Amino acid sequence: MSLELNAITKSFGALIANDGINLAVNDGEIHAILGENGAGKSTLMNIVYGLLQPDSGEIKVDGKVVTINEPSDALAVGIGMVHQHFMLIPVFTVLENIVLGHENTSKVGKLKLHEARERLMKIANEFGFEIDPDAYVENLPVGVQQRVEILKALVYEAKVLILDEPTAVLTPQETDELIEVMKRLRAQGTSIIFISHKLREVKAVADRITVIRRGKVVATAQPSASQEELAALMVGRPVNLMPDKNPPKVGAPILVVKDLEILDPSGRALVSDVDFEVCAGEVLAIAGVQGNGQSELAEAMVNLQSHVRGSITVGGVEIVGKSVHESLHEGIAFVPESRELNGLIGSFSIAENLILDTHREAPYTKGFALSPKAVAIRGEEQAKEFDIRYQSIQDPVSSLSGGNKQKVVVARELSRPVKLVVASQPTRGLDVGSIEFVHERILAERDAGRAVLLFSTELDEVVALADRIAVMYAGKILAIVDATVSREELGLLMAGVKK
């Protein structure tokens, strides 16, 4: 099935998010869309899927103009979408999630799952998905949940599948599997619109690439183009994909972690026997496949974990047992792993989010009173410094594009005087230009004599920033190696293989 978008325009107030966009997706092609944060990619996709209404423009399916007012209209003409944030009900099984909204019931109202199950299994077989229809969604890894979303679209006969940043939350292995799935879908004749900031992936699967900048289509490219060329097309200037690093000037140890053990509420160890030091002026990256205890370790640095044994000192001061506020006050900047869950308050303004952890301090607070003016002034300064694209600093942060939200978190944390920077996945969802910027900022913190503890599942990022790399596996630090280590060796370590 082919999809054609003609002159789609959509504005939010004074901001034109989509400005006369033309796009054609051919039958059985993987069409990648590249663009900076806030370029208007998600907006365009939400229009195609009926979540937003365009101000003008038309959508054609197989040459015929269609009106899409709601997602159900989109599904009816064969357009399916997988959101970055899954729309699944965790306590339902895979099958229940798939029939949700299309339930077939007997006369007395009993759910008839039998037909749905057959249909699901048939389609799963056809596309080579391995899935247990009776597994509860909450027990499935993220990658498999995503496959459930894709299956859901396929069961309702989607012929065009929209994937908006599907790989942002996946591990490298899961990403590879998704790429295989996409290739299989293409072979069966499904067209895919694929949005990603990871140029490597785009080059690996796309048949054609459309580049959007500030709401306009600025170029089309072939996947054979180099990453540097693609990056430059997106951002409109040459981008340094590998930051220049000065040799480290390593000082005294700032962060010292000894015999650290983190337990879950039932007393099971999530992290154990962790010992390491990070010195002033160096970046220690904690690498590893997601779910090996990194998230818990990162949270323990500011006492967000409640069952911790052992010792964590920052600049000689013991952190374990302090409140979160006191830990931050000891001079720690903390970029949490999930901006949606822990980094931002969606309904708060951009300005308010920029002072979330410093709101008690002058000039924002005087006595009891909070000064909205001081907050706004500070917000505008920071937004400018970090190139956050917004309309009004008083808009809710939830109106920002994904990447700009991440910049709000990074801006807040990296503009406080601290001794230690703890950053988890600091560039998740950022475009290449912003990644370059955040990487430069992190290295600048290092060069200014701060200790940096980086948690990242992106090998590229780890290699680009780290002076030393600690690999975590099954809750323990398997090895601490020099940043010059080969990718192969790192990969083996991450899989738990120690030479």
Partner 1 sequence: MKKVWERIAGSALLPFLSFLLAFFISGFFIAFSDANVLKTVGHPGKFITTALSTVGNAYLALFQGSIFDPNLTAGHGFMRGFYPLSETIVTATPLILTGLAVALAFQSGLFNIGAQGQFIFGAIGASYVGFHFTFSPVLHVALALIAGVVCAALYGGLVGLLKARTGAHEVIVTIMLNYIAGFFILWILKTTTFLRPRRIDPIAPDVKPSAQLPHLAGADFRLHAGILIALVAAYFVWWILNRTTIGFQFRAVGANASAARTAGISVSRVTISTMALCGALAGLGGAVHVLGSQYALTADIGGSFGFDAITVALLGRAKPFGTVLAALLFGALRTGGRTMQSNTTTPLDIVLVIQALIVLFIASPTLVRFIFKVKNLKTNAAMTAKGWNG
Binding site for Mg ion (CB under 5 A): 42, 402
Between 384 and 413, how does the x/- string for binding to partner 1 read (CB under 8 A)?
--------------x-xxx--x--------
Tell me which of ligand ATP, partner 1, Mg ion, none is bound by residue 428, counting a contact when its beta carbon lies within the kind-specific cut-off of 5 to 8 angstroms.
none
Of residues 79 and 131, the one with the C-beta less far from Mg ion: 79
Task: Examine residue 389 and tell whether it contacts ligand ATP (CB under 6 A).
Answer: yes
Q: How far apart are CA 453 and CA 467, in angstroms?
A: 11
β-pair partners for 472: 477
Of residues 23 and 283, the one with the C-beta less far from ligand ATP: 23
Rounded least distance, CB 397 to ligand ATP, Å: 10
Of residues 133 and 336, the one with the C-beta less far from partner 1: 336
Candidate residues 340, 384, 448, 495; the one interacting with partner 1 per rule CB under 8 A:
340
Rounded least distance, CB 78 to ligand ATP, Å: 23
Tell me which of ligand ATP, Mg ion, partner 1, none is bound by residue 340, counting a contact when its beta carbon lies within the kind-specific cut-off of 5 to 8 angstroms.
partner 1
Of residues 413 and 436, the one with the C-beta less far from partner 1: 413
Q: 404 and 389 in contact (C-beta within 8 Å)? A: yes
- Spell out the residues 6+ positions from residue 247 whose beta carbon is closer than 8 angstroms to its own: none
Between 441 and 470, how does the x/- string for binding to partner 1 read (CB under 8 A)?
------------------------------
Binding segment for ligand ATP (CB under 6 A), chosen from 237-245, 251-259, 371-379, 400-408, is 400-408
Task: Examine residue 44 and tell whether it contacts partner 1 (CB under 8 A).
Answer: no
Of residues 77 and 82, the one with the C-beta less far from partner 1: 82
Of residues 188 and 391, the one with the C-beta less far from partner 1: 391
Rounded least distance, CB 54 to Mg ion, Å: 17
Tell me which of ligand ATP, Mg ion, partner 1, none is bound by residue 357, counting a contact when its beta carbon lies within the kind-specific cut-off of 5 to 8 angstroms.
partner 1
**Which residue's entry shows tokens 């389609």?**
123
Tell me which of Mg ion, partner 1, ligand ATP, none is bound by residue 92, counting a contact when its beta carbon lies within the kind-specific cut-off of 5 to 8 angstroms.
none
Q: What are phi and psi of 228, to 5 degrees?
A: -60, -40
Of residues 293 and 343, the one with the C-beta less far from partner 1: 343
Calculate ∠ Cα 338-13-431, nearest 5°.
35
Task: Examine residue 311 and tell whether it contacts partner 1 (CB under 8 A).
Answer: no
Rounded least distance, CB 287 to ligand ATP, Å: 25
Q: 148 and 137 in contact (C-beta within 8 Å)? A: yes
Residues 431-460 contacting ligand ATP, CB under 6 A: 431
Task: Examine residue 224 and tell whether it contacts partner 1 (CB under 8 A).
Answer: no
Q: 78 and 68 in contact (C-beta within 8 Å)? A: no
Nearest to 50 by CA among 159, 149, 162: 162
**Which residue's entry shows tokens 């295989």?**
180
Of residues 127 and 348, the one with the C-beta less far from partner 1: 348
Task: Examine residue 11 and tell whether it contacts partner 1 (CB under 8 A).
Answer: no
Number of residues in the chain: 499
Tell me which of partner 1, Mg ion, ligand ATP, none is bound by residue 346, counting a contact when its beta carbon lies within the kind-specific cut-off of 5 to 8 angstroms.
partner 1
Tell me which of partner 1, ligand ATP, Mg ion, none is bound by residue 294, counting a contact when its beta carbon lies within the kind-specific cut-off of 5 to 8 angstroms.
none
Give me 196's structure tokens: 């990603």
- Spell out the residues 6+ positions from residue 361 whose beta carbon is closer than 8 angstroms to its own: none
Candidate residues 13, 90, 346, 363; the one interacting with partner 1 per rule CB under 8 A:
346
Q: How far apart are CA 251 and CA 309, in angstroms?
A: 27
The sheet with strand 269-279 has its strands ordered as 269-279, 253-263, 308-314, 317-318
Rounded least distance, CB 339 to partner 1, Å: 7
- Rounded alpha-carbon distances, angstroms, from residue 384 to 30, 309, 429: 36, 42, 20
Q: How far apart are CA 350 and CA 342, in angstroms?
A: 15
Of residues 42 and 457, the one with the C-beta less far from partner 1: 42
Q: 419 and 375 in contact (C-beta within 8 Å)? A: no
- Rounded alpha-carbon distances, angstroms, from residue 418 to 26, 63, 323, 327, 414: 52, 58, 17, 11, 8
For residue 362, count CB atoms less than 10 angstroms from its CB and return exposed for 0-12, middle for 13-18, buried for 19 or more.
Answer: exposed
CB neighbours (10 Å) of residue 321?
11
Q: 458 and 286 in contact (C-beta within 8 Å)? A: no
Task: Examine residue 106 and tell whether it contacts partner 1 (CB under 8 A).
Answer: no
Between 16 and 55, how does the x/- string for binding to ligand ATP read (CB under 6 A)?
-x-----------------x-xxxxxxx------------
209-228 burial string, b = 16+ CB within 10 Å, else e? bbbbbbbbbbbebebebeee
Of residues 241 and 370, the one with the C-beta less far from partner 1: 370
Q: How far apart are CA 59 and CA 7, in angstroms?
A: 9
Give the binding site for partner 1 (CB under 8 A).
83-85, 302, 304, 323-325, 327-329, 334, 336, 339-348, 352, 356-357, 359-360, 364-365, 368-370, 372, 398, 400-402, 405, 429
Give the binding site for ligand ATP (CB under 6 A).
12, 15, 17, 35, 37-43, 389, 399-404, 431
